[in-house]
Amino acid sequence: MHGLAEAEYFSSVAQWGARLKAREISAVELAKAFCARLEALGPRYNALALPLTKRALRKAKDIDGDIKRDRWRSPLQGIPCGVKDLLSVAGLPTTWGAKPYAAQVFKTDATVVSKLDSAGAVLTGKLSMVELAGGGGYCYPAASLFGPGLNPWNLGHWSGGSSSGSGSAVAAGLVPFAIGSETWGSILTPAAFCGVTGLRPTYGFVSRNGAMALSWTMDKIGPICRSAEDCGLVLQAIAGKDSGDPSSSGRSFYFAPHYARKPELLRVGYAEVDFSGWAEPSARPAFEKAFATLKEMGVRLIGTGLPELPYGLAASAIIAAEGSAIFEPLIESGKVDELADKNQIAGLKAGLDLSAKDYLKAMRIRTLVQQALHKLFADVDILVSPARFGPASKIGDRLDLRPPVSPTPADRGLSDLGAAGNLAGLPALCLPCGFSEEPGPGNALPLALQFVGRPFSENTLLSAGMAFQERTDWHKRTPKV
């Protein structure tokens, strides 16, 4: 397509930036190639919500004018990208992955879209997602206006939710990077299942102005990329204060991995049971090798665990109460019945009946979680565990009936880190770390680790992630597209 070899579509942001600076390729040539690829292959994975080819080529032409005059705005200048379809793009449909909103159009760009535009990134398309980012709870991958997100490593498996299109598009080389969102797992899951690198920033670090709300107190927006380095470059462009988002932290982010502590100075907390007990049997060999790589990095490993608290119940109650309040007009109008997943419809309706007492109880538990993690991070700099304990689900499988590991470990270790980290608003980095050992040819699927840190410790996480990726090549592996 447009003169690019297949392997080139999997180049990193940094690699494309170097080629643009060296005038080896123009921004227009790059945009044409990626727009054509996204339009041709996006539907194969149910990843494409809306192509933005005309917009992209106009932007790329302007960028080439800047490059000609040696005007460099950022490391993202001239780099194609996609955004999850819960972010508004002025004058164009923003469907939130749901039939009731299929014709919805906003007058302004989301702040993240504006920031990417200011950085010179070239938006080539909006990417599919689970309807309403999973609000109400969904049982099947097919809970989307665009169909189930299909995994580029095996089309019979899910790409993960709710940022399914973002995960698929980066994994298949349809965009060099994409923007997703996470309330409870929606960046880390597709990154883990699709074998790419995802960053969930600290709550409030990236503006949510112009983004669909699911949970006012838990929603976060972040990048899905090919590497930890790319995640840092993208976060630098999209983080920062925004008066349009009352929850904005007011902090900017400067990506400076060279100033971060070296791996041998890091204290990394882990729970052995996560890798040997909670991990699915097919995933354990890869996790063991990944853990061995951590040791090779020279980090100081410290055994730890989370105190017993109802992490999942608290997270579920908060998301249910806030999500149903947000979508009350949809529920009261009856249009909620147009959603694809019956369980999700029932969950949204039930959320309206959640009492203030139960919501406040969940918020009090959340405070205990924040205090517990604050105490835990007095002794460690990073927590590490499997990002997901096994590979991607099959497309037809119910997501709420995944067989539990047997025997169930008595020690919970860090198995609740997903719920706990999101309740506390902590940053997390998802790193590909190998493949599952499934019976039969072509059945191996990606696996990943997660690094979780203190609030606003993204540079520490990213530098540790870069050190891990210097010693491994899992992030460079690509599916046959």
pTM for this prediction: 0.98
Distance CA 143, CA 149 (A): 9
Q: Give SS3 for 213.
A: coil
Measure the CA–CA gap between 340 and 170, rounded to whole angstroms. 25
Q: Which amino acid is at 144?
A: S
The pLDDT score that the predictor gives to residue 403 is 84
By residue count, the chain amounts to 481
The Cα-based distances of 33 to 5, 8, 27, 77 in angstroms read 10, 10, 10, 16
- How far does CA 450 lie from the centroid of its chain? 12
Radius of gyration of the chain, Cα coordinates, nearest whole angstrom: 21
CA distances 7 to 21, 69, 191, 235, 433, Å, are: 20, 30, 20, 25, 21
Angle at 18 between CA 14 and CA 21, to 5 degrees: 135
Burial grade of 227 (CB within 10 A; 0-12, 13-18, 19 or more): buried
Closest listed residue to residue 32, CA positions, set 56, 7, 50: 56
Amino acid present at 4: L
What structural domains does the chain harbor? 1-305+370-481 (3.90.1300.10), 312-361 (no CATH)
pLDDT score, position 1: 40
Between CA 163 and CA 190 the distance in angstroms is 6
Residue 440 confidence (pLDDT): 60
Supply 274's token pair: 């996560």
Q: Which helix (H) or strand (E) holds 295?
A: helix 284-297
Give the pLDDT of residue 258. Answer: 85
Smallest Cα–Cα separation from 180: which of 467, 455, 430? 430
424 Cβ contact list (under 8 Å, min separation 6)? 366, 369, 370, 373
Those residues whose C-beta lies under 8 Å from the C-beta of residue 142, and which sit 6 or more positions away, are 148, 340, 341, 395
Contact yes or no for 84/48 (Cβ under 8 A): no
* Distance in angstroms (rounded) separating the CA atoms of residues 202 and 402: 29
Of 124, 451, 474, the C-alpha closest to 266 is: 451
Residue 181: how many other CB atoms lie within 10 Å: 26
**What pLDDT score does 402 carry?**
85
Would the CA dihedral through 165, 214, 116, 238 be positive or negative? negative
Q: What is the pLDDT along the chain (481 residues), one digit of tens a residue?
A: 456 999 999 999 999 999 999 999 999 999 999 999 999 999 999 999 999 999 999 999 999 999 999 999 999 999 999 999 999 999 999 999 999 999 999 999 999 999 999 999 999 999 999 999 999 999 999 999 999 999 999 999 999 999 999 999 999 999 999 999 999 999 999 999 999 999 999 999 999 999 999 999 999 999 999 999 999 999 999 999 999 999 999 999 999 988 889 999 999 999 999 999 999 999 999 999 999 999 999 999 999 999 999 999 999 999 999 999 999 999 999 999 999 999 999 999 999 999 999 999 999 999 999 999 999 999 999 999 999 999 999 999 999 888 888 899 999 999 999 999 999 999 999 999 999 987 665 679 999 999 999 999 999 999 999 999 999 999 999 999 9
- Which amino acids are annotated catalytic? 84, 162, 186
Please tell me the distance from the alpha carbon of residue 372 to that of residue 383, in angstroms, as a whole number: 13
CA–CA separation, 349 vs 356, rounded Å? 16
